[in-house]
Structure 1
Amino acid sequence: MRPSVIDDFGMPVSSYPLYRTESKVSDFEMTRACPGGAPSSYDAACGDWVVNTAQPSSPPYNTTNANARFMPLIDDDVYPNIGDRLSDAGISWAWYAGGWDQVNSDPSKVPQFQFHHQPFLYFEDYAPGTPGRAHLRDSEEFVAAAKAGALPTVSFVKPYASENEHPGYASEPLGSANLVELVRAVVEGGSAGNTLVVVTYDEFGGQWDHVSPPTGDAWGPGTRIPAMVIGRSLTRSGVDHTRYDTTSILATIERSFGLEPLGTRDASVNDLAAAVAAGGR
């Protein structure tokens, strides 16, 4: 894979309204080579790291973009993921994606399906023909299983693009309606009594945050993002001021089931126990 060349602010090719790349850059799979001598103004961006949108090389593929770049499949034995940890422990789980069944049968019916939003497609153990593939399901199955009280122990749900509330291309009303449908399927269904719902986002829906991120490592924390913890057994609403990041969800799963952490961050980050306590359980 080829290295990107980023500008002086650490940005690759961008044409967003509030930031347009002016200098000569190259938007490839990897970050730029580390400069020699004194550290650059954006030293954290240098090195062999995948940036931006590198597509998974396991089908279903992105066949509509002639410039799409594909990552080699990751060896789960070397770099395990949370699905691997759950499977090894005999814990049932599934990743539910909006449009999954259709993209595997007739991709033309789901033109906004986002292949790069399916994390398990990047790993060898979830390629077609592997046992792990059975964990990849359609989000309609999640709704049916939640209503019937037949959810696996751990579920991940990724809405279809037009329903994921991403600024710029998604519909906020469609996204909100989809979220309400998913949550109601749980809290009004047969799985409600022992299910904790965590709703969060990968971006915060704006362009600026008036609170500076705390000191972290090369990858964050970044700007704040919303998160909600929902459960029928929680007795009150509340706001929890504990510091979390997205790996707090991993930590919650790992500590709930005695799983080995995947890395240094989820090993040390706060899990969501304090947020659950804020709900009065």
Structure 2
Amino acid sequence: MSILEAIIIAIVEGLTEFLPVSSTGHMIIASSLLGIHTESFTKLFEVAIQLGAILAVVVLYWKKFVDFKSFSFYIKLALAVVPALLLGFLFSDQIDALLESPLTVAITLLLGGFVLIFIDRSFQHPSIHEEAEISYGKAIIIGIWQCLAMIPGVSRSAASIIGGMQQSLSRKVAAEFSFFLAVPTMAAATGYSLVLKDWPGANGVEQKGYEMLLSSQDNLIAFIVGNIVAFVVALLAIKFFIGFLQKHGFRWFGYYRIVAGVILLILLWTGVIHNG
């Protein structure tokens, strides 16, 4: 992976991680167009640069994350992340197989687009307007909704925000809780990929993620640059999304997903991108 390729994928990650359009799906499309989707380091990189996006949330909402007087906030995040941790551990191989399929991304982009177009009409009377009002039970249910994002193209952000709105959270509170929940969820996924997961290496020898990062200077530089770029872009994307969501709702993201899904199907049909 070149530095330019790392920057391109990091920009895609930063722009899409917290928008309801699927960052995983967009990175699969980007890496496929760049011709590097099948490389083991690319797959590791697409997970590892989530560190930059996580840091963007922590920086923007640092007062929330260091408010140790509100211990219930941390309990809610811990409870909400459990479903994703359990399913991620139990179905890791199946999830990896889905990540190989741009066709899966195209289908879920389309289906999710239609959902977002009509979702605003479904939850018009929220009763929860502050994070402190979210119960532990509601936090767990939102965490279960988040698990839908294990299917590439679904969008972790969309799944958890819709789950929040289904639990009577306002758009703003649902979006912010989705951002908060991203921190332990993505940190766990990144840690697993870097420390525990075995990746196919050179000559068929498996490597841990950190070993692959440290195996070459190019890999390490790509990782560092990618996280810096993802951090900066994610900062801007989060600020944009909150204001846009409150004013316009989800429908424009729905239209975008449908267009992106159709374009991806065309690219697959014409052979520009190959499935698997």
Which one has more relative contact order, counting CA pairs under 8 Å at least 6 apart?
2
The TM-score range, normalised by the shorter chain, is under 0.3
Between Structure 1 and Structure 2, the one with more helix by share is 2
Specify the structure having the higher radius of gyration (Cα).
1
Between Structure 1 and Structure 2, the one with more strand by share is 1
